[in-house]
Amino acid sequence: MEFTKMQGLGNDYVYVNCFKEKIENPSEMAVKVSDRHFGIGSDGLILIKPSEVADFEMEMYNADGSRGEMCGNGIRCVAKYVYDYGLTDKTSISVETLGGIKYLDLTVEHGKVTLVKVDMGTPILKPELIPIVAKGETVIDEPIMVGGKEYHMTGVSMGNPHDVVFMDDIKNLEIEKIGPLFENHERFPNRINTEFVNVIDRHTAQMRVWERGSGETLACGTGACAVTVACILNGLTENTVTVKLLGGDLQIEWDREKNTVYMTGPAEVSFDGVWKEK
């Protein structure tokens, strides 16, 4: 199987061009290729496929083989792949995902994509649609007991589920301990991605993420969008925010008139390779 290893701010996936390749069991393949010792090493697997309703389809799997509805860093890499590898010459494309069709604008320099702006769509705040078990119409700054400690969370779906937790110190956070407790908490029936966030000023926030199915990653695009929405809902920032992640920065804007979130960031190829089944 031919593959391309790509990353967006260090959130790395193995990409397979399914116009050429066929994968019988993608979930199993995701577990194998993601292994950082016995595989290629990645946060998961992303298949680039033909679509009947958009220019392309993105099918994403986490490192544990579970399916993610959407992937913000992944979709920027898909845009770079389809343009740089000659599957399209369009600089505005649409991509079908389990979280809906997304529209992307590509910045091209010297024949290669360097930056991608994605219309990530309308944030979903209804608890039953995220899903989060809750009584109210939304989950904003709501207490939750995790590991014997009370935290406050804001729930947002960007096609995939997120809970955003604000705190003063994210550097010393024991994310390996607390992340899985959030991920598997009974209030999240489909598990969840958790962003731990420190707001720096009204246009800047920094975050660490514990991703459902992949653990701590260097960046999460849908997570950065959820963080921006949560910051605004809690009155902490304006509508445009630079989100600082371990792997770099993303520019996020929640356009309140259109009620859509825009994410702008880079996408890079690490290397091409061939995976041989043992």
Instruction: Indicate the annotated binding residues for substrate.
Output: 11, 62, 72-73, 160, 193, 211-212, 221-222
Under rule CB under 6 A, residue 71 binds ligand LBFN2T5F: yes
- Judged by CB under 6 A, which stretch of 19-27, 111-119, 208-216, 243-251 contacts ligand LBFN2T5F? 208-216
What does the buried/exposed string (b/e) look like for 237-264 if buried means 16 or more CB atoms within 10 Å of the residue's CB? bebebbbbbbbebbbbbbeeeeeebbbb
Measured from the CB atom, is 92 or 190 closer to ligand LBFN2T5F?
190
| Rounded-to-integer distance, Cα 171 and Cα 21, Å | 41
Residue 264, token pair as written in the block: 């702008």
Which of the residues 71, 77, 225, 231 is marked catalytic? Answer: 71
Q: Residue 228 interacts with ligand LBFN2T5F (CB under 6 A)?
A: no
Backbone angles phi, psi at 103, to 5 degrees: -115, 130
Which among 70-78, 112-120, 130-138, 165-173 is the span making contact with ligand LBFN2T5F, rule CB under 6 A?
Answer: 70-78
End-to-end CA distance of the chain: 12
CA–CA separation, 82 and 88 (whole Å): 6
CB 99 within 8 A of CB 124: no
222 binds ligand LBFN2T5F (CB under 6 A): yes
71 flagged as catalytic: yes
Tell me: does residue 213 bind ligand LBFN2T5F (CB under 6 A): yes
What are the residues binding ligand LBFN2T5F (CB under 6 A)?
A: 11, 62, 68, 71-74, 160, 193, 211-214, 217, 220-223
